[in-house]
Structure 1
Amino acid sequence: MTLAVRKIVRHVEETRMEAGRALPRVHRVAIVAAVFDNPYPPGYVEDLVTLANEVGEELGTLVGPPCVDLLGEEVEAYGKAALVGIEGELEHGSALIHNLRFGDPFRRACGGTELLPAGEKTGLTGAPLDVPLKHKLNAKTRSHHQTVTLVVPDAPRPREIVVACLAANAGRPLARLAPFGSETAAA
């Protein structure tokens, strides 16, 4: 099966100042999203995995490596997203992105080893979706826990799905929390 892709969205956000301070380096986030017809038939379907396996690599290759290319520098944090339009199920988007055939092309392209954190929901056309990002090598790296909002103004339409990969070149701007677990360490 080949996905019926209506559009590809590419977006780069650059933050240069935070809390009135210039950042030591520009914080960049890249997003590549595919908007396509929901490949699952309307109504309840018991087996979602077979189709997700069938299209997983195609979909992952469509948005993962291009996201790394769009960032244009070393990826430090990453995430993924699925926004399912009405007349579809949340489980449709989940099946597509929670599949190693989807995630592996992105992980390989950016040298990541951690599972990709995900944002997923059903929504109306233009609905925002908050997507968590974490460090690509160590999900416990607090400085890299960040959330990016994804909006595609004309998607998803009914019976469409938006799937995206997101990559950041750094942790949060001006991150300064103590390392994970330090609050429980003996003094």
Structure 2
Amino acid sequence: MQERMERPDESIGLRKLVLYRDVVFTEAGDAPARPARRASVAAVVRNPWLGTGPAEDLLAEQERVAPVLAKLLADRLIAALGGVEEIEAFGKAAVVGTAGEIEHAGALIHTPYFGNLVREFLRGESIICFADTRAEAGETLIVPLWHKTHAATRSHYQTISARVPDGPRADEIVVIAAASTGPRPHPRIGDRMTDPVVTTQNLEVVPS
């Protein structure tokens, strides 16, 4: 039976959603102890500030659009990765089209109206790491991830590529949320909380 797709809130100017998933079964010739599943969900929306100047107050549209996107993307990430309890790492990103300001990308992901809500929906505590840029349609963006409750845990420092072939158009913004169910394959480079103190004074050899 065909699944019925619920149409999201049309007021945010949503054109399409793009879901990407992957899982690594082998790395360096061996299977990871626990293969991690990763996913990103991208929403292509109309730029609500198109044609405004650098003095434009962005707050009203942040309050209106960003919470809708936070719920929309978080819900689909949770479904794609098998439940919120499966998710261990997260990240966010935005790409503004060429007719917009780079600040327009940040306006939809770098405020409490998006970040705080995504963190709550995914049951995280860490600040969500991020990427943003301005680009033409089809640009690949590398979205960084880290542990949702222990940001200093290096095992979960990883990235996922996100791309919408026909977006953003010049008058659009692509907003992305991403997550992983585990660490990189075979993590073994230590942890920031247990690292030795390394300075230029205590290294035997300092690169010149």
Name the TM tier (shorter chain). over 0.9
Cα distance in 2 for residues equivalent to 1:155 and 1:78: 22
**What is residue 25 of structure 2 aligned with on the other side?**
16
Cα distance in 1 for residues equivalent to 2:118 and 2:107: 17
**What is residue 5 of structure 2 aligned with on the other side?**
none
Question: Unmatched 5+ residue regions in structure 2?
Answer: 1-9, 203-208
Give the TM-score normalised by the residue count of structure 2: 0.84
What CA deviation, in whole Å up to 9, does each residue of 1:95-119 have, x standing for no partner?
Answer: 1101112123322222101111111
CA shift in 2, pair 1:51/1:44, >3 Å: same
Cα distance in 1 for residues equivalent to 2:75 and 2:105: 20
What is the root-mean-square deviation in Å for CA atoms of aligned residues?
1.7
What CA deviation, in whole Å up to 9, does each residue of 1:136-184 have, x standing for no partner?
Answer: 0011111111121111111111111100110100111111011215131
Residue type of the alignment partner of 1:84: V
Residue type of the alignment partner of 1:60: A
Q: Percent of pairs identical after alignment?
A: 38
* Residue among 128, 131, 135 paired with 2:147: 135
Residue type of the alignment partner of 1:75: I
Deviation at 1:26, TM superposition (A): 2.1
Residue type of the alignment partner of 1:184: V
**What is residue 71 of structure 1 aligned with on the other side?**
81
Cα distance in 2 for residues equivalent to 1:110 and 1:55: 19
**What is residue 71 of structure 2 aligned with on the other side?**
61
Deviation at 1:132, TM superposition (A): 0.8
Deviation at 1:127, TM superposition (A): 0.5
The count of residues paired between Structure 1 and Structure 2 equals 186
Within 5 Å, which residues of 2 pair with 1:154-169?
154-169=166-181
Q: Is the 8 A contact 1:85 1:123 kept in 2?
A: yes
**What is residue 3 of structure 2 aligned with on the other side?**
none
- Does residue 51 (structure 1) correspond to residue 54 (structure 2)? The answer is no
Question: Unmatched 5+ residue regions in structure 1?
Answer: none
* Residue among 142, 145, 161 paired with 2:157: 145
**What is residue 184 of structure 1 aligned with on the other side?**
197
Q: Is the 8 A contact 1:90 1:122 kept in 2?
A: yes
Stretch of structure 1 that moved more, 67-76 or 81-90: 67-76
Q: Is the 8 A contact 1:53 1:99 kept in 2?
A: no
**What is residue 4 of structure 2 aligned with on the other side?**
none
Cα distance in 1 for residues equivalent to 2:99 and 2:175: 16
Residue type of the alignment partner of 1:90: I
Residue type of the alignment partner of 1:66: R
Q: Which runs of 4+ in 1 moved over 3 A?
A: none
Cα distance in 2 for residues equivalent to 1:175 and 1:131: 19
Residue type of the alignment partner of 1:12: R
Report the 3-state secondary structure (helix = DSSP H, G, I; strand = E; otherwise coil) of the residue aligned with 1:148.
strand
Which protein has the larger Cα radius of gyration, Structure 1 or Structure 2? Answer: 2
Give the TM-score normalised by the residue count of structure 1: 0.93
Cα distance in 2 for residues equivalent to 1:3 and 1:45: 22
Deviation at 1:43, TM superposition (A): 4.1
CA shift in 2, pair 1:103/1:65, >3 Å: farther
Residue type of the alignment partner of 1:136: K
